[in-house]
Amino acid sequence: ILITGASSGIGEHLAIFLSQLEIDLQLILVARREEKLEALKQTLQSEMTTIHIIRADLRVQEDMDHLLEFLHQLPAGLDIVVSNAGLSINRSILQSLDRFHDFTRTMAINYFAPVQLLLSVIPLLQQNHGQIINISTINALITPLPKWAAYQASKTAFDTWLQSTAPELNKIGITTTTIYLPLVKTPMILPT
């Protein structure tokens, strides 16, 4: 099971939950903050769970390449991808006029990174009749809100991509699931 954005919030809690199950599994935890991943690995010590941590900023091509190389060398392939890494921005468009980078950074992690990751691992998931779980936001389903242009556009883009590919993926044995969460009290949303 691969979990992106695993060093805090939803990804961290999911890793803790899964490690407590009494089943033999391998968790591949990916996030930018290696020290947080190391600390999490120490708390997840389990006889049944093997934990791999990979420090990667999925917006950085070299980091993405390193992750993909690791995944393609897994002897048993990959069963589940939990696409959880993300960036949230709540800012007025009038305060964004000189902040185009807010839009490129948000699209890079919320849209381009999961698309690139999945394009590479679809054959691995097909081999194992795997599953893609997209941790999304209720904002992708509602009328666009002021001050959320960068975030809502990026989350909606990936949501649309996954919905568009789901019939083809289902046909080759890959299940897709999107979980639309409301605002969750995580470190990511503290600034907003």
pLDDT band at 8 (very low <50, low <70, confident <90, very high): very high
Q: How many CB atoms lie within 10 A of CB 136?
A: 21
Contact 137, 155 (CB under 8 A): yes
Contact 5, 86 (CB under 8 A): yes
Say whether pLDDT at 40 is over 90: yes
What is the rounded average pLDDT of the residues 31-40? Answer: 96
Could you tell me the two tokens for 111? 């849209």
pTM, two decimal places: 0.93
Say whether pLDDT at 83 is over 80: yes
Q: What is the dihedral of CA 103, 140, 155, 41, to 10 degrees?
A: 130
User: Tokens 């999490």 map to which residue?
Assistant: 40
Which residues, in sequence order, are bridge partners of residue 2?
A: 28, 81
pLDDT band at 22 (very low <50, low <70, confident <90, very high): confident
For residue 15, give the H/E element and its range.
helix 9-19
Arithmetic mean of pLDDT over the chain? 93
pLDDT for residue 16: 94
pLDDT for residue 134: 98
pLDDT for residue 182: 76
pLDDT band at 189 (very low <50, low <70, confident <90, very high): low
Catalytic residue among 36, 117, 132, 151: 151
Say whether pLDDT at 144 is over 90: no
* Residues 98-105: contacts with CB under 8 Å, at least 24 apart: 102/150, 103/149, 103/150, 103/153, 105/59
pLDDT for residue 156: 95
- The verdict on whether 180 is a catalytic residue reads no
pLDDT band at 67 (very low <50, low <70, confident <90, very high): very high
pLDDT band at 47 (very low <50, low <70, confident <90, very high): confident
pLDDT band at 146 (very low <50, low <70, confident <90, very high): very high
> Between β-strands 25-31 and 175-181, what pairing exists: parallel, antiparallel or unpaired?
unpaired
Name, of 97-101, 136-140, 184-188, the range with top average pLDDT: 97-101
Residue of 178 and 21 predicted with greater confidence: 178
pLDDT band at 127 (very low <50, low <70, confident <90, very high): very high
Contact 52, 28 (CB under 8 A): yes
